[in-house]
Amino acid sequence: MGAVSGLGLGPTVCIGFMYINGWAGKNSGLLIGTATSAPTILSIAQNQIITAYVNPKNLKADTLIGVRAYFSQREILERVPEIILILGCMGLGLQIIGYLLITNPPTASDPTLNGKDNDVEKHPENGKENISQNISDPKSLLVNRNEPAKHYDANSIKDDNEKTSAISDREIFQENNQTNHVESHSKYHNVRSLKPSETLRSSNFYAMWLYGAAVGFGLILKNNYYKQFGLIYINNDVFLTLVGSLIPVFASATRIILGACIDRDILSIQDCLVMSLAANTFLCAFWFFAPQVSAILYMVLILALACAHSMVHTIVGTGVSKLFGNEHYFLNYGLVYSSGFLIAIVSALVVSPLREALGWFWLFASCSILGIFSLLYIAFYDLCFKTK
């Protein structure tokens, strides 16, 4: 089930990011953060449905085997297969809706865009070249986005934009991309697109790869064990479900804010990596103790971890574009995100034996140790984030 899900999810996410980076220009960070927040927000309803259906009486986990707490009540166990079917039907319904909403990209030559005719084609006397280029091929957009402005300076672009204010944004897509290059002061806007072989020789790649591994490991621990570990010290299934429902809210808000900050150069890719890694490292070091102090403190820690982990999609999705360019985005994104694939396999093999042999404390501490190693790499290699 996991393999099939991954085969569908991986290409879908990567292609979605590729389109966003090709169309959105300097707002790609914000839109990637927004797009990746949709499934996160939907998980709020999923958590509530699961708990309300499987454990409507808020029964406590009554069986402790080693360091793991389990439900053994028959009335709970009999409902588990049914909730899996319900969630499967919900997922299928959402996929059908998404499929029905898919349309071909608009073309600049479409005379009905925004209810206006194509003035560029009808009035060549305006001094503009015909730019009614079909933009249905996302790769062509991604390549063009990194090309420097060739025909316009800042003043001429400004004058032309004033003369043709009636033309829709999509009709002048190509010109707006050129304007973005001229007017943007971002240190990433002139980045050269790197081939995968060049990406593998870049220190940027290894910094982002280590970041994905460290935060990805913490994400796996949080998603799979925050409730299971919490039940050992907090005998309130409804409270822990509430924590799970709040996670998407905080994660989505963090993604959107972070994407906007990257687009406006308030934060750099390096700043975001350090913030996310430092938070993950610090919080995992105290994870073991939080529920023993109070349930509220445990909730705060888990929500803070959710904010730190939520940055990974925005940072990787936007960072690959800004650091390595868009011409080979699909392959470069796959290379960077291979750390997540590797850490998922390793985690499946070592997490349970590590927990049984050393206990919860060292399981969480191992995530902190990996985070420290990644932070040291980023901190001591200045050349990591010099755009080539």
Q: Is residue 197 assigned to a domain?
A: yes
3-state secondary structure 326-351: CCCHHHHHHHHHHHHHHHHHHHHHHH
Instruction: Give the residue numbers spanning the domain of 27.
Output: 2-38+193-385
In this structure, the answer to whether residues 201 and 343 fall within a common structural domain is yes
Q: What's the domain count of the chain?
A: 2
In this structure, the answer to whether residues 202 and 324 fall within a common structural domain is yes
In this structure, the answer to whether residues 215 and 312 fall within a common structural domain is yes
Alpha-carbon gap, residue 361 to 70, rounded angstroms: 20
Q: Which of 114, 176, 195, 138 has the alpha carbon at shortest distance from 21?
A: 138
182-224 confidence digits (pLDDT tens): 334 455 555 677 888 888 888 888 888 989 899 999 999 998 8
Rg (CA), the chain: 24
Q: Is residue 326 assigned to a domain?
A: yes
pTM of the model: 0.61
Q: Is residue 177 assigned to a domain?
A: yes
In this structure, the answer to whether residues 270 and 162 fall within a common structural domain is no
Q: What is the pLDDT of residue 84?
A: 85
Containing 136, the helix (H) or strand (E) segment is none
What is the per-residue DSSP string for 74-101?
HHHHTTHHHHHHHHHHHHHHHHHHHHHH
Alpha-carbon gap, residue 294 to 53, rounded angstroms: 27
The answer to whether the beta carbons of residues 213 and 347 sit under 8 Å apart is no
In this structure, the answer to whether residues 156 and 199 fall within a common structural domain is no
In this structure, the answer to whether residues 279 and 331 fall within a common structural domain is yes
CA atoms within 13 A on the CB side of 352: 5
Q: Tokens for 118, please give them.
A: 């194509």
Vertex 288, ends 279 and 226: CA angle to 5°? 75
In this structure, the answer to whether residues 131 and 222 fall within a common structural domain is no
Q: Which of 348, 213, 333 has the alpha carbon at shortest distance from 276?
A: 213
Q: Is residue 322 assigned to a domain?
A: yes
Q: Is residue 364 assigned to a domain?
A: yes
Residue position matching structure tokens 């839109």:
31
φ, ψ (nearest 5 deg) of residue 287: -60, -45
CATH assignment of the domain containing 276: 1.20.1250.20
What is the per-residue DSSP string for 32-86?
HHHHTHHHHHHHHHHHHHHHHHH-TT-PPP-EEETTEEE---HHHHTTHHHHHHH
Q: Is residue 48 assigned to a domain?
A: no
User: CA of 187: how far to CAs of 76, 97, 272, 276, in Å?
Assistant: 56, 39, 15, 21
In this structure, the answer to whether residues 275 and 377 fall within a common structural domain is yes
In this structure, the answer to whether residues 179 and 199 fall within a common structural domain is no
User: CA of 306: how far to CAs of 193, 216, 312, 356, in Å?
Assistant: 32, 12, 11, 25
What residues of the chain score a pLDDT lower than 50? 111-185, 383-384, 387-388
What single-letter DSSP state applies at residue 360? H
In this structure, the answer to whether residues 170 and 256 fall within a common structural domain is no
In this structure, the answer to whether residues 201 and 331 fall within a common structural domain is yes
Residue 56 makes CB contacts below 8 A (sequence gap 6+) with none
Q: What is the pLDDT of residue 303?
A: 94
Q: Is residue 122 assigned to a domain?
A: yes
Q: Is residue 65 assigned to a domain?
A: no
Helices 2-24, 28-35: axis angle to 10 degrees equals 150
Alpha-carbon gap, residue 336 to 386, rounded angstroms: 17
In this structure, the answer to whether residues 210 and 341 fall within a common structural domain is yes
SS3 103: coil
